[in-house]
């Protein structure tokens, strides 16, 4: 059957290149024109030029769909071009100003935004662009240009993700003769976990006794009803890939001795079932990496039942890996992986002696640490 909604010649790679091309093909001529106008204004050819041109001379706002990593090259190119034209480059700045307007309600959305994002090459440029929004009371976030671009793409990708998630849950409900609208209505009432900032900060992989189990269960139910759920099917693979990225970073250090802080899946719990740190430790040991583990949340003598069976299966010699005192192995480690923000980790920066640190929890005081999110 032919899908009437399918674009027969659509290609995702072509679409991505087209978006990149628009950023350059349209953005460059606009910037060229603005630089020429700025040069005329600075030379005194238009002494009464309106105020907004002066503002443009300080801040050039890139179009809302500029791809991340485009703003900086454009700024560098036009900085050099401005110098060659004799323009006072101190007046030249680049801003990325993403819009969050929906078709059909653009004016309403512009006047009532959730926030305004200014990606600025410098404070002066951001100040000039911000004057356009002086009449709005929404919060303002001033970030780097590429960060502003990425906020736009993260937002739209998350919106697409939400639609796909709701549709897959709805499809499973339909197969089970359940009212999917009712399910998602109640789901959205949870403002603490479901519809909230929770779980929306980059970090490490998920684990524990609930999430992986329930994900496998619902995927099995869908498969048993001959229902394809590509999004749900891919979640565990995505989680595994994220863990593997950390393994790869450690392996690049070529058998360096590693201290991993954290073994259970979260602070305050000794649950080791499907902990991403158990998986990380298992992979590192399998590659011959010398490893020691520190986690005061886990007292192996008190680990029983399925919890014990899981760790014995995946880390059969865990008793030889776990240490009770952090300082006894910290000095000897070449790589330190911080997987849990434990109380005695707070003073860690002053105790480090040049080790390579992988920060999976986000400790800003750890200067120079590698983090999976940049």
Residues known to be catalytic: 210
Q: What is the rounded CA–CA span in Å between residue 38 and residue 35?
A: 5
The answer to whether 353 and 331 have CB atoms below 8 angstroms apart is yes
Tokens of 332: 């000897």
Q: Which of 249, 206, 204, 253 is nearest to 362 (CA)?
A: 204
């Amino acid at each position: 059957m032919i899908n009437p909604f399918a674009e027969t010649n659509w290609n995702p790679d072509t679409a991505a290149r087209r978006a990149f091309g628009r950023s350059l093909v349209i953005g460059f001529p606009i910037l060229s024109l603005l630089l020429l106008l700025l040069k005329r204004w600075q030379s005194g050819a238009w002494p009464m030029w309106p105020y907004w041109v002066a503002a443009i001379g300080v801040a050039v706002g890139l179009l809302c769909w500029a791809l991340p990593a485009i703003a900086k090259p454009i700024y560098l190119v036009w900085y050099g071009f401005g110098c060659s034209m004799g323009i006072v480059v101190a007046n030249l700045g680049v801003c990325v100003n993403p819009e969050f307007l929906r078709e059909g309600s653009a004016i309403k959305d512009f006047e009532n935004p959730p926030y305004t994002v200014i990606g600025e090459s410098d404070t002066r440029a951001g100040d000039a662009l911000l004057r356009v929004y002086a009449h709005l009371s929404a919060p303002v976030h001033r970030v780097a240009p590429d960060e502003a671009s990425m906020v736009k793409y993260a937002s739209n990708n998350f919106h697409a993700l939400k639609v796909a998630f709701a549709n897959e849950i709805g499809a499973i409900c339909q197969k089970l003769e359940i009212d999917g609208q009712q399910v998602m209505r109640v789901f959205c009432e949870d403002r603490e976990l479901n519809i909230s900032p929770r779980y929306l900060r980059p970090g490490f992989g998920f684990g524990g006794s609930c999430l992986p189990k329930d994900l496998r269960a619902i995927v099995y139910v869908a498969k048993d009803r001959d229902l394809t759920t590509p999004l749900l099917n891919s979640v565990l693979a995505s989680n595994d890939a994220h863990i593997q990225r950390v393994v790869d970073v450690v392996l690049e250090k070529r058998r360096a001795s590693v201290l991993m802080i954290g073994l259970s899946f979260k602070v305050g719990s000794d649950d080791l079932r499907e902990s991403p740190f158990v998986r990380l430790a298992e992979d590192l040991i399998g590659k011959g990496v010398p490893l020691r583990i520190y986690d005061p949340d886990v007292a192996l003598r008190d680990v029983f039942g399925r919890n014990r069976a899981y760790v014995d299966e995946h880390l059969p010699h865990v008793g030889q890996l776990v240490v009770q005192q952090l300082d006894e192995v910290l000095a000897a480690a070449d790589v330190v992986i911080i997987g849990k923000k434990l109380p005695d980790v707070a003073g860690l920066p002053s105790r480090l002696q040049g080790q390579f640190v992988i920060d999976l929890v986000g400790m800003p005081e750890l200067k120079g640490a590698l983090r999976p999110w940049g």
